[in-house]
Amino acid sequence: MCLWALQNEIGIQMRTTLQDDGKKLVVWAPAKVNLFFEIHHLRRDGYHDIETLVAPVSLFDRIEFAECDSLCGGTRNFVVECCDENGSSYTRIPSDSSNLIFRAYEVFCKASAEKQELSPKLRSLSARVYKGVPIQAGLGGGSSDAAATLVALNLLANDIFSANELKQMAAQLGSDVPLFLESGASIGRGRGELVEPFRLPSLNLVILKPRDGVPTPAAYRAFDSMPPCEPRSLESLCRAIRNEYETNDQYDSRELSSRVARVLARGISNRLEEAVASIWRDARRWRDMLASTPNALVAQMTGSGSAFFAIYPDEESATLGAECLRERSQPVRDELEGIYVVKTLTS
């Protein structure tokens, strides 16, 4: 059985497949792009206040949860294994307790113990991750995996937690983890944990991921070294998008997507892109290569990088843009990790 939008109020964009024997749960955790990202002041807790407009996209990690043989003495056992899409060992991310999937399991079990409702199914469990989302890309793969893990564990535990309780757990794991518990696009504020849904049509994008990665702490250090600047307005962009829905409700989904794409082309922004460009000399080269593809409306870095995305007016333009990009990037193909044609996911 395959489902979009899971039980209760949770609308996480995640496909689940439960095998007939009931012993394996397969979840698909999406990447995201930041259509807008503004940084405000540094908080006392060491985080920055931010404003962001985030959209999940059709690029996924696949996670298989399976019951293991129980250990004696009631000891909990949780094993994480990381693989590439073909099932070969993937050593670029840890499989130990620092992995966000492992941390999500620990947070969930601690909350379950406080309720005295730890399901026997969770006492001995394995999670095998097939990585489809590039790492150190600004695409949120690790955070999405954590959110997907929380929802999957709750499903295995017969929905013992509400949507709000899962969001509280998600906020403990990372600033952008709660965003992945939303269905479709959302706005994040605070350090990212204050989330509200936002209506967007399905948009056509191409994502370019260079092999270079940008550690998030390095990106923020570069930002902190920059002179202060006037913050850009997320509200004006959101207002313009809402106006397309309010004044053009007679358009079909294809036309609405094209019109909203053009609104975004005039208003998207990522404050971290300038900071990252100051420490990574190739940032502008990749962005300009993507922006110059046919019919690309705009190109921008997502999150702290190193991935970039371009918005196109329709699916045909995105496909053509990706083909052109593959041809142009041939001389530097060893520097490129991947080119992906994706759509933003809607609720």
Here the tokens at position 294 are 């046919």
Strand partners, 26: 17, 64
- Clarify whether residues 320 and 302 are in a common domain: yes
- Clarify whether residues 39 and 175 are in a common domain: yes
The CATH number linked to 239 is 3.30.70.890
How many domains does the structure of the chain reveal?
Answer: 2
Task: List the Cα angle 112/116/118 in 5-degree steps.
Answer: 50
- pLDDT in the model for residue 118: 75
DSSP 312: E
> If you write DSSP's letter for every residue of 75-106 in order, what string do you get?
--EEEEEEEETTS-B-TTS--STTSHHHHHHH
- For the chain, report the end-to-end CA distance as a whole number of angstroms: 19
The CATH number linked to 36 is 3.30.230.10
Angle between the N-to-C axes of helices 253-267 and 234-247, in degrees from 0 to 180, rounded to the nearest 10: 160
- Clarify whether residues 137 and 187 are in a common domain: yes
Domain boundary among 197, 215, 231: 197
Q: How far, in Å, CA of 62 to CA of 83, rounded? A: 10
With residue 325 as reference, give the H or E element that holds it.
helix 315-328
Q: How far, in Å, CA of 145 to CA of 177, rounded? A: 9
Domain boundary among 154, 170, 197: 197
Q: How far, in Å, CA of 216 to CA of 213, rounded? A: 9
With residue 337 as reference, give the H or E element that holds it.
strand 336-343
- Clarify whether residues 313 and 212 are in a common domain: yes
Here the tokens at position 228 are 């202060």
- Clarify whether residues 176 and 116 are in a common domain: yes
Q: How far, in Å, CA of 177 to CA of 50, rounded? A: 14
Mean pLDDT in consecutive groups of 10 residues from the start of the chain, 347 residues:
34 48 82 96 86 97 86 70 91 90 96 84 90 95 96 92 95 94 93 93 97 91 91 95 84 90 97 95 96 97 97 98 96 95 94
- pLDDT in the model for residue 9: 38
What number of CA atoms fall less than 13 Å from residue 62's CA on the CB side? 12
- pLDDT in the model for residue 1: 22
Q: Of 323, 201, 197, give the one whose Cα is nearest residue 261.
A: 201
- Diameter of the chain by CA atoms? 64
Catalytic residues, by residue number, are: 32, 176
- Clarify whether residues 300 and 260 are in a common domain: yes
Tokens 């899971």 belong to residue: 6
- Clarify whether residues 249 and 142 are in a common domain: no
The residue range of the domain holding 100 is 2-197
Amino acid at 102: F
- Clarify whether residues 50 and 71 are in a common domain: yes
- Clarify whether residues 264 and 142 are in a common domain: no
User: What are all long-range contacts of 113-117, with beta carbons under 8 Å and residues at least 24 apart?
Assistant: 115/160, 117/157, 117/160
- Clarify whether residues 72 and 158 are in a common domain: yes
- pLDDT in the model for residue 148: 96
- Is the pTM here over 0.85, yes or no? yes
Here the tokens at position 28 are 């698909």
Strands 48-67 and 186-189: antiparallel
Could you give the 3-state DSSP secondary structure of residue 256?
A: helix
- pLDDT in the model for residue 73: 47
Domain boundary among 150, 180, 197: 197
- Clarify whether residues 262 and 322 are in a common domain: yes
Q: How far, in Å, CA of 152 to CA of 250, rounded? A: 39
Tokens 């269905």 belong to residue: 183
- Clarify whether residues 168 and 192 are in a common domain: yes
